[in-house]
Amino acid sequence: MSDTPDSAVHAYTERHRAAFLDDLAEWLRIPSVSAQPEHEGDVRRSAEWLSAKLKETGFPVAEVWETDGAPAVFAEWPSDDPAAPTVLVYGHHDVQPAAREDGWSTEPFEPVIRDGRMYGRGAADDKGQVFFHTLGVRAHLAATGRTTPAVHLKLVVEGEEESGSPHFRALVEQHADRLAADAVIVSDTGMWNETTPTVCTGMRGLAECEIELHGPEQDIHSGSFGGAVPNPATEVARLVAALHDTDGRVAVPGFYDGVAELTATERALFAELPFDEDTWLRTARSGAASGEAGYSTLERIWARPTAEVNGIGGGYQGAGSKTIIPSSARVKISFRLVAGQDPDHVQQAVQAWAEARVPAGIGHRITFLPATRPCLTPLDHPALRAVARAMGRAFGQKILFTREGGSGPAADLQDVLGAPVLFLGISVPSDGWHAPDEKVELGLLFKGVETAAHLWSEMAAALR
């Protein structure tokens, strides 16, 4: 008379659907923007909200952990099976900045459900993906009849991921004993698209810098002085223009040191994916693909290091005109790194490159944000197969493999805890991470719940 585990999970999930969405919407209403000091209190409120919700879910332990920055949340639900492996789930509760006037159709922090999607900042990145684990573990218990999970389950949800996780490594080092795990599941990535479930096997690292150039001590009249003194806005532009060579390679000497080149196997794995450049361009909302010569689009975004200008500014940007030579100009550049690259080495290379290019009469200040290391999951690890099986049971489809172009502190967990890092994400490229109208597909959100529900039995079997 009993359902199979798969349908039991599904039925349980369906029954708790409405309450789950209400709870998620409540969380999304907290504007936990870690990059903006005025939201410091909101980030804390978000941590406290999550900690309370995890207790409500049944986690015997749920704590707010302080850092030198924004607080993180830790929760633990031990298995009653002493031989069970320990799995640590990672996510983040902070979000990117968002303002209605950036182009949102509705208020970014007033989530709404429209056409089977929930819109709101953090819906996909990353509150929605953290949150599916709460219903997931309850569905796991309900479907298996267990009172505790099949693995010793731990959760760490940090509050500064969108600011480059400046205190996360210290937090992990400080609490290494409590975070210790046989495997780490990172739920802060995506899958191929709405109909192609995939497991991610690696993320790029990230080094970010701001280069500020100073010219005249104040803005000066471009009529009186134009043509005879260096212009910091022009010099910032020259730096940016020199960032790439004509093949689209980053022209900073030493930047490619140590880069793990793609193997034939990896290129073949990428080629298995139903990639259509026109579709991809529509997702990117870009009119053309371009980048490093000799690599496909997927290779460029997943396996090649890059340099992107995130923001540039200097001088008069208002209406009309102002005939000045600006006193300063600046650019924010982010470098994506791949396995084999060392962020410290990249930063030194960028600093040396920039300094050598600043002409006489121009002052400079180069600052780096804390870097994120690249990471890559071993393709032959049994835990990777366990994730793929759990996902396969939820989706009823073959699971393919991808990488992720974005960056996260997964590598810190790998480094400090000595555990392999796996990725379980159900977000899709159209979800608009870091963009206006960020959303999560509700259908996929509940597949995430179901995958999480299957995962603990699969992991227990794989890692036993």
Distance CA(281)–CA(425), nearest Å, equals 22
236 in helix, strand or coil? helix
Task: Supply the DSSP symbol for 39.
Answer: G
Pick from 279, 310, 348, 397 the residue near a second copy by CB under 8 A: 310
Strand partners, 18: none
318 part of the interface to a second copy, by CB under 8 A: yes
Report residue 97: phi and psi, to 5°: -60, 150
Query: Which range binds a second copy by CB under 8 A, 9-17, 21-29, 110-118, 217-225?
Result: 217-225
Number of residues that bind a second copy (CB under 8 A): 100
> How many other CB atoms sit within 10 Å of the CB of residue 285?
9
For a second copy, which residue of 67, 106, 174, 222 counts as binding (CB under 8 A)? 222
Among 2, 147, 265, 290, interactor with a second copy by CB under 8 A: 290
Q: Which of residues 106-135 bind Zn ion (CB under 5 A)?
A: 125-126
* Token digits of residue 48: 């406290």
Which of 362, 383, 444, 452 is close enough to bind a second copy by CB under 8 A?
Answer: 362
Whose Cβ is closer to a second copy: residue 152's or residue 403's?
A: 403
Of 77 and 109, CB closest to a second copy: 109
Burial of residue 382 (CB within 10 Å: 0-12, 13-18, 19+) is middle
- 83, interface contact from Zn ion, a second copy, none, CB < 5-8 Å by kind: none
Pick one of Zn ion, a second copy, none as the site partner of residue 81 (Cβ within 5 to 8 A by kind): none
Does residue number 404 form part of the binding site for Zn ion (CB under 5 A)? no
Q: Is 260 in the site for a second copy (CB under 8 A)?
A: no
Q: Which two tokens stand for residue 291?
A: 């980048």
Q: Which does 397 bind (CB under 5 to 8 A by kind): Zn ion, a second copy, none?
A: none
**Among candidate residues 334, 318, 32, the one with its CA nearest the CA of residue 161:** 32
Nearer to a second copy, 136 or 205 (CB): 205
Binding status of residue 231 toward a second copy by CB under 8 A: yes
Q: What is the CA radius of gyration of the chain?
A: 23
Q: Among 113, 220, 260, 379, indicate the residue that binds a second copy (CB under 8 A).
A: 220
Q: Which residues contact 220 (CB under 8 A, 6 or more apart)?
A: 229, 324, 325, 327
Q: What is the DSSP letter of 375?
A: E
Closest contact distance (angstroms) between CB of 301 and Zn ion is 16
Residue among 115, 317, 356, 380 that touches a second copy (CB under 8 A): 317
Helices 127-144, 442-463: crossing angle, 10 deg rounding: 60
Beta bridge partners of 178: none
Report the relative pairing of strands 183-186 and 86-92 from DSSP bridges.
parallel
- Looking at 94-102, 167-175, 186-194, 308-316, which segment touches Zn ion (CB under 5 A)? 186-194
CB atoms near residue 95 (< 10 Å): 31
229 binds a second copy (CB under 8 A): yes
Q: Does 36 bind a second copy (CB under 8 A)?
A: yes
The rounded distance, in Å, linking the Cα atoms of 323 and 302 is 43
- Residue 160 or 235: which CB sits closer to Zn ion? 160
Q: Retrieve residue 247's tokens.
A: 């093949």
State the minimum distance, in angstroms, from the CB of residue 4 to a second copy: 36
- Binding partner of 188, given a second copy, Zn ion, none, CB within 5-8 angstroms per partner class: Zn ion
- Check binding of 191 to a second copy (CB under 8 A): no
The C-alpha angle with vertex 58 and arms to 57 and 59, in degrees rounded to 5, equals 105
Select the residue interacting with Zn ion from 188, 404, 450, 458 (CB under 5 A): 188
Where on the chain is the footprint of Zn ion (CB under 5 A)? Answer: 125-126, 188
